[in-house]
C-alpha cells in the first residue's frame, strides 16, 4: 500500500509555525517513502471557516514548497459522513442523547466532587421511548454519541512507542450535533478511511482521542492507520503557540524577509538530536529525515534562532539560487554583486540597500575633504577588478602617510555612506570609477 498522509488545517485562521511543523513532517515522511501528501481542509465549522483563510493556507504551503498530491474539502463530503452515521446507528454504536450543555456540566461537576473521572454515564441508553418523545416534545433535538466497546485499546505510536487507553476511562464521544452536523471525529475518521491514509502524524494534543478513533475505524470496517503524536511546539518561555499569534504566522514571517528554507531547516530538526543547519533544498531534508529521531521532549521555537539561520542560509546561497529572488525584488544583480554582498545579509531585502549603494545615488560622508579629494585623484583607470582596491589604497597610503583605520574608514564612509559592510575590494568595481570619484569629492552620485 502506498504511504499516504494528510495535513488537515481548519480555515478559521492563518497558519503559524506550530501548524507548519506537522505539515512539513507529514510531507517529508511521505516523500521519503515515495508516498502521497493530501491537503484536507477541515471546514465543517461553517460559522468560522473563511475562504480567504483557505486561500492563505494554500499560499503558505506553496511558499514552503509543500506541494500536495490531492486536495479535498470536508464541506463537499457531508454525504459520506451522513452515510457513516446511519451505518453506526443501524449497528447500535451511535445512540441519541438529550442532555443540555448545562445538564452535562452539572453531571461533570458532581462526578469531580465525588472524586471520580468525569466520564459520560450513558444515561441516554436507559431512556424509554416515552421519555425520548417527551424530550422531543420540549423541542430538544438529540446529539449522537459513539458507544465505545469495553476493553483496552493499544497501538504502537511512531513517536511515543507503545500506547494504550482503557475505554472505561473515556467518555463516549459525540459524533453528531443536535443540528445534524458532524463534529471533528466522524469526518476525520471517514476521510482517513476513504482516502487511504496509512499514517496519521499530528500533535500530542490528539493522543487521548486516538483510542476512540481506532474503535471508530473498526466499527466502520476500516483498518486504522499508524499513528505518530509529536510534542507540541512552544515558545522559549514554554507557552503554547496560538494560530492567532500574528507575529509567528507564516504570512508575517514571509513578509519580514524570512526564507522558506530557513524555516523548513529549523522545523525539520526541532525535537531531534540532529544539528540544525541551513539547507538550500527540500531534497536535502528528505534525505536526512527519520521520524524515529523525534523525541518526546518539548521543542521550543526561538525567533532569534530562525533569524540567525536565515542569515546563514543567505551567506551560503549560490547565485543560481539567489538570482530569481533578486529579480523578484527588481534587482538585476549579477554574480559579482551577489558574491560581494551575501555575507552581509540577514534577509534578502537587505540586498536592496547594497544595490542602491552600488548602482544608484548615494550622499557621501566626508570626514576630511582634502584627503578624500587626494584619494579621488589617485583612482586608476578602468577596468577594475578585486585587485584594484589594494593597488589604489597602497598609492593613497604612500602619498598621505595614513594606514589602518585612519586610511580605510574615511574611504568607506565616502564611497558607501556606511560604517560597515562588504569588503570594499569587491564593492569598488561595482560602484565604478565615475561614482567613486564623485563621492570622494563630496558629490552625490
Encode the chain (445 residues) as per-residue pLDDT tens digits: 899 999 999 999 899 999 999 999 999 999 999 999 999 999 988 888 999 999 999 999 999 999 999 999 999 999 999 999 999 999 999 999 999 999 999 999 999 999 989 999 999 999 999 999 999 999 999 999 999 999 999 999 999 999 999 998 999 999 999 999 999 999 999 999 999 999 999 999 999 999 999 999 999 999 999 999 999 998 888 887 764 455 589 999 998 889 999 999 999 999 999 999 999 999 999 999 999 999 999 999 999 999 999 999 999 999 999 999 899 888 888 999 999 999 999 999 899 999 999 999 999 999 999 999 999 999 999 999 999 999 999 999 999 999 999 999 999 999 999 999 999 999 999 999 999 999 999 999 8
E strand or H helix at 41, and its extent? strand 36-41
Helices (H), 240-387: 250-255, 260-267, 282-288, 303-316, 319-328, 335-341, 350-359, 369-377
E strand or H helix at 176, and its extent? strand 174-176
- Among candidate residues 211, 145, 225, the one with its CA nearest the CA of residue 177: 145
- Among candidate residues 383, 393, 396, 389, the one with its CA nearest the CA of residue 427: 389
Do 301 and 250 meet the contact criterion of CB atoms below 8 Å apart? Answer: no
- Among candidate residues 266, 311, 271, 277, the one with its CA nearest the CA of residue 290: 271
Cβ within 8 Å of residue 320, ≥6 positions away: none
Report d(CA 216, CA 33) in Å as an integer. 27
Cell of 402: 595614513
Do 248 and 17 meet the contact criterion of CB atoms below 8 Å apart? Answer: yes
3-state helix, strand, coil in the chain (%, to 5): 50, 10, 40
Report d(CA 380, CA 410) in Å as an integer. 19
Report d(CA 226, CA 214) in Å as an integer. 10
- Among candidate residues 212, 250, 265, 228, the one with its CA nearest the CA of residue 22: 228
Which pTM value belongs to this model? 0.90
Report d(CA 93, CA 88) in Å as an integer. 5
Cell of 170: 473515556
Q: Torsion angle of alpha carbons 245, 247, 253, 258, nearest 10°?
A: -140
Amino acid at each position: 500500500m502506498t504511504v499516504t498522509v494528510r495535513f488537515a488545517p481548519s480555515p478559521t485562521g492563518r497558519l503559524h509555525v506550530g501548524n507548519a511543523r506537522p505539515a512539513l513532517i507529514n510531507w517529508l515522511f511521505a516523500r521519503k517513502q515515495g508516498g502521497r501528501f493530501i491537503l484536507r481542509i477541515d471546514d465543517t465549522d461553517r460559522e468560522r471557516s473563511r475562504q480567504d483563510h483557505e486561500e492563505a493556507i494554500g499560499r503558505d504551503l506553496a511558499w514552503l514548497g509543500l506541494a500536495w498530491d490531492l486536495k479535498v474539502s470536508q464541506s463537499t463530503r457531508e454525504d459520506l459522513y451522513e452515510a457513516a452515521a446511519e451505518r453506526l446507528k443501524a449497528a447500535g454504536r451511535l445512540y441519541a442523547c438529550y442532555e443540555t450543555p448545562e445538564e452535562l456540566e452539572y453531571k461533570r461537576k458532581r462526578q469531580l466532587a465525588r472524586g471520580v473521572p468525569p466520564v459520560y454515564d450513558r444515561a441516554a441508553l436507559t431512556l424509554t421511548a416515552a421519555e425520548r418523545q417527551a424530550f422531543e416534545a420540549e423541542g430538544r433535538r438529540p446529539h449522537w454519541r459513539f458507544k465505545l466497546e469495553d476493553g483496552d485499546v493499544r497501538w504502537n505510536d511512531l513517536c511515543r512507542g507503545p500506547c494504550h487507553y482503557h475505554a472505561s476511562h473515556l467518555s463516549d464521544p459525540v459524533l453528531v450535533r443536535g443540528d445534524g452536523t458532524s463534529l471533528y471525529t466522524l469526518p476525520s475518521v471517514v476521510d482517513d478511511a476513504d482516502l487511504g491514509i496509512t499514517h496519521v502524524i499530528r500533535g500530542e494534543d490528539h493522543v487521548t482521542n486516538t483510542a476512540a478513533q481506532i474503535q471508530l475505524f473498526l466499527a466502520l470496517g476500516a483498518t486504522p492507520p499508524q499513528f505518530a503524536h509529536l510534542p507540541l511546539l512552544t515558545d522559549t518561555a514554554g507557552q503554547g503557540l496560538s494560530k492567532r499569534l500574528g507575529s509567528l504566522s507564516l504570512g508575517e514571517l514571509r513578509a519580514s524577509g524570512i526564507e522558506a528554507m530557513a524555516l523548513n531547516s529549523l522545523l525539520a530538526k526541532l525535537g531531534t538530536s540532529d544539528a540544525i543547519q541551513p539547507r538550500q533544498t527540500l531534497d536535502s531534508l528528505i534525505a536526512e529525515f527519520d521520524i524515529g529521531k523525534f523525541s518526546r521532549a518539548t521543542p521550543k521555537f526561538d525567533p532569534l534562532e530562525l533569524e540567525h539561520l536565515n542569515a546563514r542560509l543567505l551567506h551560503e546561497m549560490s547565485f543560481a539560487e539567489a538570482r530569481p529572488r533578486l529579480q523578484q525584488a527588481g534587482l538585476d544583480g549579477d554574480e559579482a554583486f551577489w558574491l560581494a554582498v551575501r555575507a552581509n545579509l540577514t534577509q534578502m531585502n537587505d540586498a536592496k540597500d547594497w544595490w542602491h549603494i552600488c548602482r544608484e545615488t548615494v550622499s557621501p560622508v566626508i570626514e576630511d575633504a582634502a584627503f578624500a579629494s587626494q584619494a579621488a585623484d589617485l583612482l586608476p583607470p578602468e577596468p577594475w577588478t578585486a585587485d584594484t582596491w589594494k593597488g589604489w589604497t597602497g598609492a593613497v597610503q604612500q602619498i598621505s602617510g595614513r594606514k589602518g583605520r585612519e586610511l580605510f574608514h574615511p574611504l568607506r564612509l565616502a564611497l558607501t555612506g556606511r560604517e560597515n559592510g562588504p569588503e570594499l575590494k569587491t564593492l569598488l568595481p561595482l560602484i565604478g570609477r565615475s561614482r567613486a570619484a564623485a563621492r570622494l569629492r563630496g558629490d552625490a552620485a
